[in-house]
Amino acid sequence: MPLSKEDLEQIDKHVKSQIEDWLQELTQSMPKYAYEIDMRERIVRVEEELKNQRELMKQGFDYMEKRFEEVNSKFKMMLAFMSLGFTILAAMMTLFKFMQ
């Protein structure tokens, strides 16, 4: 005999109202070694996640360092062209001064 929609709703309400108590009873009745194993598994998962985060941060820092090096080389090239331009300008001004 299938359950009616009202029956399912009553079951749903009952489970939702009792689930917190059931979980609390379960953890209290759990043997100490099972709790310790659970905690160790959680610690391992946290350590793995921290390792992944460290790797992502290292990749980000490596990328930032690469970008900084690219900007630095472009800045050096721009400075060289500016120096060359000022040198040519000074030479031209000197030549024009002597031509007059």
Residue-level pLDDT at 90: 92
- How much is the pTM? 0.45
Phi, psi dihedral angles at 39 (to 5 degrees): -65, -40
Residue-wise pLDDT for 39-94, tens only, equals 889 999 999 999 999 999 999 999 999 998 999 999 999 999 999 999 999 999 99
Bigger pLDDT: 96 or 31?
A: 96
In percent, the amount of the chain with pLDDT more than 70 equals: 96
Q: Give me the residue spans of the domains in the chain.
A: 27-99
Work out the angle at residue 93's Cα, subtended by the Cα atoms of residues 91 and 94, and round it to the nearest 5 degrees: 65
